[in-house]
Structure 1
């Protein structure tokens, strides 16, 4: 189904963007705006990379609906907010609705947070926006809509095993051997599946940014990309990180690692283009985290697929599943804070 934004919504969104542009141009030529003196009402949104799944302790332990969002108390929105405060920029965080597992359409549809308990749901993330007050919206989604965890399971026998059945995602085609996943995604049904995923994520991201402009017309929008997972030199991935026994990408074949990187780069390009076309700002984490991938040993900003994270579920610690560790979280916070400062002072 194609986008559902009404013509009126699109006209109002376009008018809001045009008005913002006119106001910006009306300032003194060559003058730089000062940092805002009042707190900036802000909403953070996103999936597990914004929630920073894997970092403990987590928020909302008293709310079963949000507990399974695995939102870290010290996720990058919290750390970036403190970084900005140190520079004299205060964010009044109205809400952080980031939730692990969120697809782009969960910005406007409710999300089931734990598949085994269908009644556990959270409302659409757009509900946090306040038309009369919200001035900044920051976060990122897209990886789950592209189906990155399904790609990982397509390429790994270990992830397909019963031992890891609770990790999200299912193989795209379980009848195709994991060892042949690079070939699978390079042609035929696998390539067509990827192309369809990217077509969907593109127009859903457009829809999401349109909705932000409609429901919070005075807000600056900052779309945050994903940190790089696989290095340019994939031989780095053939060595376990210090203190680890599993390789960073477990048994994913080495010839599939460039495929994972190509998928991520393609998603990054789509996100950047959609943000630019919509007049939003983009944080290009892929371009700035190439030395902190899952395969960069002690410098890794990404926890390995089966490396134990800090979070437990039913008494068992669960793997990072290629999510930012604390070092990666700090890198996210640094780059997001830098972009937000630029947006609020231009």
Structure 2
């Protein structure tokens, strides 16, 4: 990517940016020194000011009822019982109380919506950058970002004729290349233009997450960032995806060819690795949901933690139930919450 393009995405490090980051680190150190002393391994005595951010996997699209303030935020499809809410309760049961300053997670958010406004569908206006929720006293910042930036919705549409039609009309985005048949999506992503497109997307995700973590450090110097990965969608044994889940008629991945499923899994594993590296490079913490949810994929029948592509979710729009589009169901949400609570507890008890 050219220097000009990197400036456009906000990822170029200028001397000023470095000085601001250094100042933020120094301020964070001062705040930490000025704060109340806690013994090693002891739970924080006071409620921990916390901000949750992220996309539809944090807002838990597909789970009802919705939590919204006004007409605009309705289209974030943020569940009242999303994993931030459930994880907060789990932590309280363990003696760790979070003071949730805000949960700004919103369906459709790309990583750069952490510092840029997010345009909502149906001309309902814009949401402010998610970083605006951070406060000088925020001590914990937790969320999932990157899936929309890598374009997983467009990847799914590249591989499915059904999602290219009316059944996918509510899933944002278009196929990466509409002229390439869905049946050839494995070949498309493994070579030529499709592979080049993927490489570019992953590079962008890496830059954006680097920027996101720097901004958390700058706007909330005392905050401990926790990046949350995405739960695994496709099992190692893809033959399990050739059987519909109990009570369902559609296959978990609808008409996506079986030979494309390992490609989807490989893309998701690569995303997991990019997020993990961004966290490690910034000294942040990471919740590896991909590694922890291999037995709860969309193809694991009654044990599935992911709703099938066209399986009916709990959310209605204009009287019509929306599909899950491969998002966590309640079982999957609870798995997210458990692992996030465990990591947050570990971070706060250091």
The alignment's TM-score, normalised by the length of structure 2, stands at 0.93
Residue aligning to 2:348:
344
Aligned to 1:53: 61
**Which residue among 310, 328, 334 is the counterpart of 2:332?**
328
Q: Is contact 2:226-2:284 (8 Å) kept?
A: yes
- Deviation at residue 274 of structure 1 after TM alignment: 0.5
**Which residue number corresponds to residue 171 of structure 2?**
167
Write out aligned runs for 1:97-112 (5 A).
97-112=104-119
CA shift, 1:112, in A, is: 1.1
Which runs of 5 or more structure 2 residues have no equivalent in the other structure? Answer: 34-38
Match in the other structure for 2:130: 125
Map 1:70-219 → 2, pairs under 5 A: 70-114=77-121, 116-117=122-123, 119-131=124-136, 133-219=137-223
| 2:18 aligned with 1:10 | yes
Secondary structure of 2:73 counterpart: helix
Counterpart CA distance in 2 for 1:39 and 1:149 is 37
Is the 2:54–2:106 Cα contact (8 Å) retained in structure 1?
yes
Contact 2:28/2:221 (<8 A) preserved:
no
Structure 1 residue ranges without an equivalent (≥5): 26-30
Question: Do 1:5 and 1:207's aligned partners in 2 also have CA atoms closer than 8 Å?
Answer: no
Decide which of 275, 278, 282 is 1:278's aligned counterpart.
282
Q: In the aligned structure 2, how far is the partner of 1:157 from the partner of 1:332?
A: 30
- Higher mean C-alpha deviation, range 4-13 or range 50-59: 4-13
C-alpha distance 57-5 of structure 1, shift in aligned 2 (>3 A)? farther
Change (3 A) 1:128 1:184: same
Alpha-carbon displacement from aligned partner over 1:240-284 (angstroms, at most 9, x marks no partner) = 000000000000000000000000000000000010000100000
1:44 and 2:52 matched:
yes
CA shift for structure 1 position 8:
3.2
Task: Output the CA distance in 1 between the equivalents of 2:170 and 2:31.
Answer: 51
- In 2, distance between residues paired with 1:15 and 1:123? 25
How far 1:19 sits from its partner (Å)?
7.3
Task: Provide the secondary structure at the position in 2 that maps to 1:310.
Answer: strand
Write the distance in 2 (CA, Å) between the matches of 1:186 and 1:95.
41
Instruction: Give yes or no for contact 1:143–1:267 (8 Å, CA) kept in 2.
Output: yes
SS in 2 for 1:42: strand
Where 1:44 maps in the other structure, the secondary structure is: strand
Does the aligned pair in 2 maintain the 1:83–1:337 contact within 8 Å? Answer: yes
Q: CA RMSD in A?
A: 1.7
Superimposed CA distance per residue, residues 74-109 of structure 1 (whole angstroms, 9 cap, x where no aligned partner): 000000000000011000000000000000000000
What is the aligned length?
337
Conserved 8 A contact 1:81-1:91: yes
Q: Distance in 2 between matches of 1:5 and 1:51?
A: 31
Determine the structure 1 residue equivalent to 2:230. Answer: 226
- The 2-side partners of 1:333 and 1:202 are apart by 25
Q: 1:67 aligns with which of 74, 86, 93?
A: 74
Q: 3-state DSSP class of the match of 1:274?
A: helix
Report how far residue 4 of structure 1 moved.
Answer: 5.3
Q: Quick one: distance in 1 between partners of 2:295 and 2:125? A: 38
